[in-house]
Structure 1
Amino acid sequence: MSDCYLPRLGGIEVQVADLVRMQREAGHEVEVATATKGEPLPGVHRIVARMPFDLPVHPFGVGHLTRLMTSWRPDVVHVHTGAVSPFAWMGVRAAVRAGLPAVVTVHSMWDPVTRGLYTALRLLFEWHRWGLVATTVSNAAARPIRAVAGRRIPVNVVPNGLDVSGWRHVGSGARGHDGEVHVVAVGRLAPRKQPVRLLKLLRAARAKVPPGVPMRVTIIGDGPARSSMERFLREHGMSGWVSLPGRHTREEIAKVLASADVFVAPAPRESFGIAALEARAAGLPVVARAQSGVSDFVRHGEEGLLGATFDDLADALATLIADDELRERIAAHNRDTAPSVGAWPAVLEGFDRCYAQVRERGA
C-alpha cells in the first residue's frame, strides 16, 4: 500500500517497487494498491479519483480499500508512508476495519511539525491502539516515531534495500584529471532537501580549499528548486565549476560516480540516504550530517566525514578535497569493505520478522 508508485520516480516509489520485485522473487505473492496514475502493471491496483490536481489522493479511499482487502484477505498489509501520506493511512484504517494485521513503514524523518500532527492524530483516533507494527529506515528516523508512538507500537529499523554488489567497485578506476577533485551529489531538487543550502555549502568549502586545488561539482537530479539553484549559481559565479545535468538513470549515475572523488549528502533530515549508500558502496568517501540516517552506514573518519553543523560540513568537505591521502585512505576502505546495511537478503528477513510480529500481536 503506497500513495506513490511507478511510474513516479521518487525515493519511496523506487524503493517500494524494488521491494515488491525482491519479495516476489523470494516466493511471496504481492499485490499493490496505490493512488498513483499510470499504465497497468501486473499485480498493481490503481485506485485513482478524478481530482482537480495531480496528487495521489482519494477522498473515498477507505471504502475502496476495505472492499479490496476483504476480497483479498491477505496475510498482512504492508503500508508505506512518507511524512504525510493520506491514502496510505486510509489503507491502515481499512486494514483495521477488515481485521487484518498491518505493518507501517515510515520512509521520512519526522520534523517537529510532523511529530505534532501525529500526536494530535493519536489523541483523535487512538491509532496507537490499533495493534500496528512500525518500521523505519534508520535509527535517526526511529527516534521521533518512538517518542510519539509510545510503548504500544514496536518501531523496528529495517533499512532500505540495495543490490550492493551492483555498485561495488563502480568507482575503482583512476580518478582525477590534473589534480582536479570531482564532488558529486544526487537527489531530488525539492525545497525540503534544501538544495540551495547545498550550493552555499559548496561555496563555503571552495573558500576553504587552497586556490591551487581545482574542483568541480556535479549535482544530479531535478525538481521544483532547480530554477532557484541556477539563479544562485549565476549570481555567485559558480556556473563554471558546478553543473546541474538533471535526472539520471541508475546506469548514468554509476558512470558519474566512476569519475568522482567525494560524495556529499548534507540534508539534515535525510531519513536514510539511498544515494549516499550507493556512493559508499561504489567506494566514494561520503560527507553527511551526523544527525541523519546516513550515520547508520558512514562512521566519521572511516567511510567518510560527518558534521553536526553547516560549518562542520564545510570543513569536512574542504578537508577531503584538499587532503589526497585521507581521501584515498577512506576510498580504499570503502572499496575493500562492503556496507554494513542495505543488502536485500537482510532487508527481506527484517520485514519477514515484522510480519510475524504483527500476526502474533493479533493472535
Structure 2
Amino acid sequence: MKIGMLCYPTHGGSGVVATELGKSLAEKGHEIHFISYQKPFRLQGYHPQIFFHEVGALDYPLFQHNPYVLALVNKIVSISREVGLDILHAHYAIPHSLCAYLARQIVANITLKVVTTLHGTDITLVGSDSSFREITAFSINQSDAVTAVSHSLKEETVKFFPECGEPQVIYNFVDTALYKPGDKNRCLLHYRKGKEKILLHISNFRSVKRVFDVIKIFYKVHQELPARLFMVGDGPDRDEASMLTEELGIKDKVHFLGNHDEILEVLQGADVLLMPSEKESFGLAILEAMSCGVPVVASRVGGIPEVINHGETGLLYPVGDVEGMAEGCLEIFTRSEVCHRFSYQARKRAVAMFDSSVIIEQYEELYRTVL
C-alpha cells in the first residue's frame, strides 16, 4: 500500500506515534509518504520505502497568518497525483483530517481513502472548543475510518461528538526490542551520585501535565532519601518550575534537559517515571518507560489505567495527590521486592499488549478493510 502520513513533526505523542507507525509499516514493505512542514524528529536515517515531503507556505503581507492549511492541501494533492496514494492517514483531527478531505475532493479520486486517528486534545481541547467544533465533527464524519488511542478517548469522543459514531480503539505501541531495560549504572552516569534514586518526568510542560506537582513530589522524596529529578521536555511552565526548585532549595538536584530526540538512555537510567497529569488520553511516555522496566507513579485519569495495572506495574493516585504519589515513590525505592515486581510486570505487560508487532497488524487490517 501507498500511505500518506499527515502529522505534526514535534515531540508530542501524535507525531511520535505517526512516525513510528510509518517506520514500522515501511519495514513491512509499504510505501510511506510523510507530509508536514518539517521532518518529524524521529524520522532519522534513510529507508527506501519512506519519503518526506516538506510543506512550504507563501509569505505574503496580506496574510496575517501563514496559510499552512491551504499549502498542506495543495501538497497532498500534488503527492497523491504523483505517486497514486491509496490512503491518507491523518493524525490529530484538526487540521489534518480536514486537509485530507479537501485534497480528496480536489483530486476527485474515490479510491483515495481517509483514516483519522484521534490522539486526545484534538477532541478534548481543540475539537470541543466552539471555534472548531463544527469543522472537527465534519472532518470526522467525512473520514472512511476513525480510531482513538484508548477507550477513555473513545468515550470522550462520543460525549463531545455524539453525531459522529464510535471510533475504533487501536492503542499506541512501542518497539519493545528497542525500548528494553538497560544498565542503570551506565545510563545517566555523569549525573548519578552514589546510591541516588532517579525520578523522571517527560511532557510538554503545559498546565495539564502538572509539572509543579512533579517538583513537589520530588521534594518530599528527597527529604527521605538521596534522589535526583530529570525533567525532559519544554513548554509554558518550564521557567516557573525552575523557580519553584529554587524556592524549595533543590535546584542542584533537578535537571531540566529540554526536548530530546532520543530519550532511550534517559528512560533506562530512571528508577521511577512520574506522570501526575490532569488529563491523559493514553500516555506514550508511560508505555515507553514500562517497556524499559521502569515503574510508573501516575494519576488515575483518562487512558492511563488502561496502560498501568495499579499495584502490579505501577501506582495510580487521584489528581493532585502529591502526598500519596511521594509515598508511592518511597515504597518503590525502599521495598526491593515491590520495585522488582513492578519492573518485571511492567515490561511483561508492554511486550504482551502494546508491542509494535501487535498494534501494526491492527492498522494494516483497518487499511485493508477501508480499501
- TM-score band w.r.t. shorter chain: 0.7 to 0.9
- Residue 20 of structure 2 corresponds to which residue in structure 1? 18
Question: Structure 2 counterpart of 1:198, which letter?
Answer: V
Q: What SS is found at the alignment partner of 1:43?
A: strand
Residues of 2 paired with 1:95 and 1:316: CA distance?
A: 51
Q: What are the superposed Cα offsets for residues 155-174 of structure 1, whole Å, 9 maximum, x if unpaired?
A: 12222232112222225769
**In the TM superposition, what are the counterparts of 1:134-213 in structure 2 within 5 Å?**
134-150=146-162, 153-170=165-182, 180-203=196-219, 205-206=220-221, 211-213=223-225
**Following the alignment from structure 1 to structure 2, what is the Cα–Cα distance between the partners of residues 96 and 150?**
25
The answer as to 2:88 corresponding to 1:77 is yes
Residue 301 and residue 172 in structure 1: after superposition, are their counterparts in 2 closer, same or farther (change >3 A)?
farther
AA matched with 1:352: E
Taking a change above 3 Å as real, the CA distance of residues 112 and 95 of structure 1, as seen in their structure-2 partners, is same
Partner of 2:284: 274
Query: Counterpart in 2 of 1:111?
Result: 124
Q: Indicate if the aligned counterparts of 1:222 and 1:246 stay in contact, CA closer than 8 A.
A: yes
**Percent sequence identity over aligned pairs:** 24
Structure 1 CA distance, aligned partners of 2:35 and 2:165?
Answer: 24
Among candidates 145, 166, 169, match of residue 133 of structure 1: 145
Secondary structure of 2:279's match? coil
Kindly tell me: are residues 228 and 92 of structure 1, through their superposed partners in 2, closer, same or farther at Cα, counting changes over 3 Å? farther
Aligned to 1:227: 239
- TM-score relative to the length of structure 2: 0.79
Residue of 8, 15, 22 corresponding to 1:4? 8
CA deviation map 1:251-299 (0-9, x unaligned): xx33333443211122232222222112111111111122233322210
Long gaps (5+) in structure 1: none
1:89 aligns with 2:98: yes
SS at match of 2:31: coil
Structure 1: distance between partners of 2:257 and 2:247: 19
Q: 1:318 to 1:125 in 2, by over 3 A?
A: closer
For residues 131 and 9 of structure 1, do their structure 2 counterparts lie closer, same or farther at Cα, with a shift above 3 Å needed?
Answer: closer
SS in 2 for 1:240: helix
Give yes or no for contact 1:289–1:308 (8 Å, CA) kept in 2: yes
Q: Does 1:45 align with 2:56?
A: no
Distance 2:36 2:238 in 1: 28
Unaligned 5+ segments in structure 2 are none
Q: Secondary structure of 1:256's match?
A: helix
Structure 1 match to 2:355: 343
**TM-score, reference length from structure 1:** 0.80
Aligned residues: 348
The one-letter code sitting in structure 2 at the alignment partner of 1:19 is L
- Residues in 2 aligned to 1:285 and 1:262: alpha-carbon distance in whole angstroms: 5
Tell me the CA shift for residue 21 of structure 1. Answer: 1.8
